[in-house]
């Protein structure tokens, strides 16, 4: 199904809505940053809207996979400097951005970032909150915070080094220079690169493939990967075994194996 025919139409959004959410068929939701006049800079209100959107999508049983995107020319330009320039440390602390971003970080549904144009600063950090990053050929990524006397504060120093390794991460963090989509893919930050015009369709296609899988298995895979990445191998393997054992209590496991034996397409219910 094309994105022009969502169950919740784009026109349903009120003027000034900074995050547009479309519930498509096939268990896919499309979340679009909608602050084009400011290059999707992550204002406090936009961050709050994102937080609420992911809170709602996490609780929506009809949604099995999520695509997060920005505009055709920019994914997100980063933090809104106008709201940061005059702030003191106590004010920044009291904003508790970790709570605002928690619904994205802890969303149990697989999230695909579809990045066209630049994802700078908080925009790159937002993409790294997702499980898969797909990029258009014209996309670029950077953590330029050092150039204005600060540093990443929404996971950029931690998620980036886990994605691309110490030496690539240090180069990006200490120079503030952008890397292209192709270089980001070579480093392991981006999963795949597509022509800009095809990116959203490819992201939705992948999301539908994931949404067609048993959702409980998808949730367990995501949970174990994220929990195990910083654990010892022994602990991570234990988490994997327990999650795998748990899935044998699901109706989807019975349906999946029976469908395989009967050579038919499985119908997964998330039960």
* pLDDT for position 207: 98
5 in a structural domain? no
- The number of domains in the chain is 2
Q: Which two tokens stand for residue 56?
A: 């709602």
- What CA–CA distance (Å, rounded) separates 74 from 196? 11
Of 122, 73, 75, 72, which is closest to residue 97 (Cα–Cα)? 122
User: Are residue 160 and residue 233 in the same domain, yes or no?
Assistant: no
Please report, for the domain that includes residue 177, its CATH number.
3.90.226.10
* pLDDT for position 12: 43
Alpha-carbon dihedral sign for residues 46, 66, 185, 197: negative
Q: Which two tokens stand for residue 140?
A: 């670029």
User: Domain of 257?
Assistant: 215-262
Residue where one domain finishes, among candidates 170, 187, 211: 211
* pLDDT for position 83: 66
User: Are residue 191 and residue 220 in the same domain, yes or no?
Assistant: no
Q: Which residue positions in the chain have pLDDT lower than 70?
A: 1-16, 80-87, 95-96
* pLDDT for position 100: 86
Tens-digit pLDDT profile for residues 23-32: 998 999 999 9
* pLDDT for position 19: 96
User: Are residue 135 and residue 252 in the same domain, yes or no?
Assistant: no
| 47-56 own/partner pairs: CB under 8 Å, 24+ apart | 47/97, 47/100, 47/101, 48/100, 49/17, 49/18, 49/19, 50/19, 50/100, 50/104, 50/126, 51/100, 51/101, 51/102, 51/103, 51/104, 52/103, 53/19, 53/21, 54/103, 54/104, 54/107, 55/103, 56/21
* pLDDT for position 47: 92
User: Are residue 182 and residue 237 in the same domain, yes or no?
Assistant: no
Q: H/E element holding 38?
A: none
253 in a structural domain? yes
* pLDDT for position 4: 40
Tens-digit pLDDT profile for residues 153-194: 989 999 999 999 999 999 999 999 999 999 999 999 999 999
174 in a structural domain? yes
- What CA–CA distance (Å, rounded) separates 72 from 199? 10
Say which residues have a Cβ less than 8 Å from residue 63's Cβ, sequence separation at least 6: 23, 27, 28, 29, 57, 109
User: Are residue 133 and residue 247 in the same domain, yes or no?
Assistant: no
Please report, for the domain that includes residue 245, its CATH number.
1.10.12
* pLDDT for position 126: 97
267 in a structural domain? no
User: Are residue 105 and residue 222 in the same domain, yes or no?
Assistant: no
User: Are residue 196 and residue 237 in the same domain, yes or no?
Assistant: no
* pLDDT for position 84: 65
* pLDDT for position 168: 97
* pLDDT for position 270: 84
Residue where one domain finishes, among candidates 168, 186, 211: 211
* pLDDT for position 89: 77
User: DSSP assignment of 213-244, as one string?
Assistant: S-HHHHHHHHHHHHHHTTS-HHHHHHHHHHHH
| In the block, residue with structure tokens 């026109």 | 11
């Amino acid at each position: 199904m094309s994105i022009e025919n969502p169950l919740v139409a784009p026109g349903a959004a009120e003027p000034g809505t900074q995050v547009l959410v479309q519930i498509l068929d096939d268990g896919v939701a499309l979340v679009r940053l909608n602050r084009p006049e400011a290059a999707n800079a992550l204002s406090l209100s936009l961050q709050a809207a994102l937080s609420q959107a992911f809170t709602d999508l996490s609780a929506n049983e009809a949604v099995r996979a999520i695509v997060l995107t920005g505009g055709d020319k920019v994914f997100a330009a980063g933090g809104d400097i106008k709201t940061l320039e005059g702030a003191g440390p106590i004010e920044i602390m009291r904003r508790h951005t970790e709570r605002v971003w928690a619904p994205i970080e802890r969303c149990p549904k697989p999230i695909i970032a579809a990045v066209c144009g630049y994802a700078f600063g908080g925009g790159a950090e937002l993409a790294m909150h997702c499980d898969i990053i797909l990029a258009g050929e014209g996309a670029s990524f950077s953590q330029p915070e050092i150039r204005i006397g600060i540093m990443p504060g929404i996971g950029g120093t931690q998620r980036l080094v886990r994605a691309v390794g110490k030496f690539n991460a240090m180069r990006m963090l200490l120079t503030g220079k952008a890397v292209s989509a192709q270089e980001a893919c070579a480093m392991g930050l981006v999963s795949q690169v597509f022509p800009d015009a095809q990116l959203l369709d490819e992201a939705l296609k992948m999301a539908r493939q994931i949404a067609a899988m048993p959702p409980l298995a998808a949730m367990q895979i995501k949970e174990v990967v994220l929990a195990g990445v910083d654990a010892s191998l022994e602990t991570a393997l234990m988490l994997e075994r327990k999650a795998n054992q748990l899935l044998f209590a699901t109706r989807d496991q019975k349906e999946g194996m029976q469908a395989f034996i009967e050579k038919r397409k499985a119908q997964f219910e998330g039960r």
